[in-house]
Chains A and B, each alone.
Chain A
Amino acid sequence: MTIHSTAVPLENENVDTDQIIPARFLKATSRDGFGKNLFRDWRYNDDDEARPKTDFVLNSPVFSGKILVAGKNFGCGSSREHAAWALKDYGFDVVVSSFFADIFKNNALNNFLLPVQVNDDFVQNLFDTIQQNPAAEIDIQLENQTITNVSTGEQAHFDINAYKKTCFINGYDDIDYLLSIREEIETYEQVIGY
């Protein structure tokens, strides 16, 4: 699986899921349509779509793409999976950061939004590259777990466990797998004495 795209730079650190999708938008009972409220309060003045905050990167006419590059500790705070739904619905397939909050990382993987964790310097160089040239492309190869800053040729390896990688590439989900081992789970329950 390959993702080759330009990227949107979000240089803030500690971006929490309350910013990614504010609580007042969590009242939906389906998974759809969260993209329009992604970063809602950073995107609009007084919640008014007619008055975008022009200095926020999602409103920039120059940056776009399927990859979001973000500062460290991305996705901290609330466990709301709506954050992953919103990013995906908006059109991102990948988030790159120097580290992710744990629950966010799981939620992202469960929604086929790829979290790519690389070191601080690599992220900083990506920011510099994108700022200099918003048309700069990033290449991600999931099979061999590499990310390349195409303009500079700089490449890094990223971790993903083998099981999750297989799920990701084949579109499997954990529930299918767990249902398939139901007997083993029941045996466990008996042995432990539930």
Chain B
Amino acid sequence: MTLFDKIWNRHVVKQIEGGPSVFYIDRHFIHEVTSPQAFDGLRKRGIGLARPAQTIATADHNVPTWDQHLPIKEALSRMQVEKLTENCKEFGVELYGLGHSYQGIVHVIGPELGITQPGMTIVCGDSHTSTHGAFGAIAFGIGTSEVEMVFATQCLMQNKPKQMRINIEGTLQEGVTSKDIILYIIAQISAGGATGYFVEYAGSAIRSLSMEARMTICNMSIEMGARGGLIAPDDTTFEYMKGRKFAPQGADWDQKVAEWRQLHSEADAVFDHEIHIRAEDIQPMVTYGTNPGMGIPVTGSIPEETVLEEKERPSFRKALDYMGLQAGKAIKGQKIDYVFIGSCTNSRIEDLRQVAQFVKGRQKADGVEVWIVPGSKQVEAQAREEGLHHIFEAAGFQLRQPGCSACLGMNEDKIPAGKYCISTSNRNFEGRQGQGARTLLASPLTAAAAAITGVVTDVRDMLTAN
């Protein structure tokens, strides 16, 4: 049996003949964008939440990341956030909204509060719910009709996906992070390469990663089409969780850890597909196009059209046209206007610490705007407690307040049309960071290096120089 099978089997309430399973959900996260129509659905049916205690809400997509104590300026954003507050009150859902010390990006706060736990099934009306899989949970994004389904019944109708295991063995080079691992994998198998699969990440390189680094990998599983990704829990997982607000305590903790230790794929487990990767082969990665599969090593060049299949060429041309980049050209040295370090992929305290350590004593390049957006109030507080804000200030970086920020063009933080932004977020789609914005995805270290030089840079050159 695989890790996935063990969790899946335990959550099947009923198997419908020739159809999906009735699948039980342990934890349901919601945010302001994908929940209002689901609450309305309940009202129309005249019912409430089946298990309100298993749902947790926060406001993240629409929130400003500056002056959060003031009312949200944009009327529609404000209304959506207010609607969430009203709905949570009416239906008895716990809300960590703006102003709450637990507020933050939904996929950052679940783990940091200890709500996300091994063996659980976790959903949210948000595709990056896959993040929570880092704890050995089955976690995936759902649509609004399904949000309503979970509200009403605590269950979903699910077909069992195929299973893939990606094994990464070896040791990462210096300057290479877990973000580079996942960008490398997606570049290898393409933006649709894992559609229909749930992915387990395994191997010595994965086991050596911290929980936060593991979350970065699971987070982007969706960018290769996978429903979700997961990693077997181990001592690293338990150490991270111990003592967190909603983690089990005392004798209960010991018993849970004993149960969680059973959560791993057996030696004879069979996967529908397996991939093997050597950690040593992975270099710092950057994307040049308009889907996350269009990634290359920072030392590499944008491919020539001739290496692509005929029918891939129009999309490739459209992407380069949008990005204002040329086939065959090296990516290193490409000018950057904005640097965004944030999003549910890379906005945790370790990301901020890593960036701070790197930029200490350095200065951002002229003409580059640098935003550091912590994933949650707790990350922000921790960063200030450690004095990281002084380092950022001295470097000319702005430390903003928690939210999705420039990850998606929905709140005030947008990249202007035509400008280049190196971003630690997860999507480089056309218009993702604002209409006409040009996104290059990279790790926090690579983004920080670009902030200092003003161009795409191999961070490894700067590590040795330091």
Contact = CB atoms under 8 A, between A and B. Distances in A.
Contacts of A22: 409, 431, 435
Which of A47, A99, A103, A161 has the most C-beta atoms of chain B within 10 angstroms of its own C-beta?
A103
A128 B185 CA distance: 34
B171 to A, nearest CB: 32
Contact of B225 (A76, A124, A182): A76
A14 B291 contact: yes
Contacts of A82: 144
B192 A110 contact: no
A175 interface: yes
Contacts, number: 183
A181 to B, nearest CB: 7
Interface in A162-181: 162-164, 173-175, 177-179, 181
Interface string B299-323: 0000000000001101100100000
B145 A29 contact: no
Interface string A77-110: 1111110100000000000000111110011001
B145 A182 contact: no
Contact of A103 (B142, B148, B315): B142
Contacts of A184: 13-14, 22
A107 B141 CA distance: 11
Interface in B327-345: none
A179 B13 contact: no
A75 B123 CA distance: 19
A81 B220 CA distance: 19
Given A81-B144, A163-B16, A103 B311 contact: no
A192 B11 CA distance: 9
Interface string B335-357: 00000000000000000000000
Contact of B18 (A107, A162, A185): A162
Interface residues of A, number: 57
Contacts of A16: 291, 427, 429
A51 to B, nearest CB: 14
Contact of B192 (A14, A80, A106, A107): A14
B83 interface: yes
Given A76-B291, A79-B34, A99-B195, A175 B45 contact: yes
A80 B223 CA distance: 15
Given A29-B36, A178-B153, A161 B143 contact: no
A62 interface: no
Interface stretch (B73-81, B90-98, B248-256, B390-398): B73-81
A145 interface: no
Interface of B: 10, 13-14, 16-20, 22, 24, 33-34, 36-37, 40-41, 45, 47, 50-51, 61-62, 76-77, 79-80, 83, 125-127, 141-146, 148-149, 152-157, 159, 161, 191-192, 195-196, 222-223, 225, 227, 291, 293, 311-312, 314-315, 318, 408-410, 427, 429-432, 435
**Closest 10 interchain pairs by CB?**
A163-B19, A73-B192, A81-B143, A107-B143, A29-B36, A27-B76, A110-B145, A162-B18, A79-B141, A178-B153
21 contacts: A14-B291, A18-B427, A27-B76, A29-B36, A29-B79, A71-B311, A79-B125, A80-B33, A81-B37, A103-B141, A103-B142, A161-B19, A174-B145, A174-B156, A175-B41, A175-B153, A178-B22, A178-B155, A179-B152, A182-B50, A192-B10
Given A29-B40, A78-B127, A174-B157, 16 more contacts: A13-B315, A27-B33, A27-B80, A29-B37, A30-B40, A31-B37, A72-B192, A73-B192, A76-B291, A77-B429, A78-B126, A80-B34, A102-B227, A124-B311, A163-B18, A181-B22
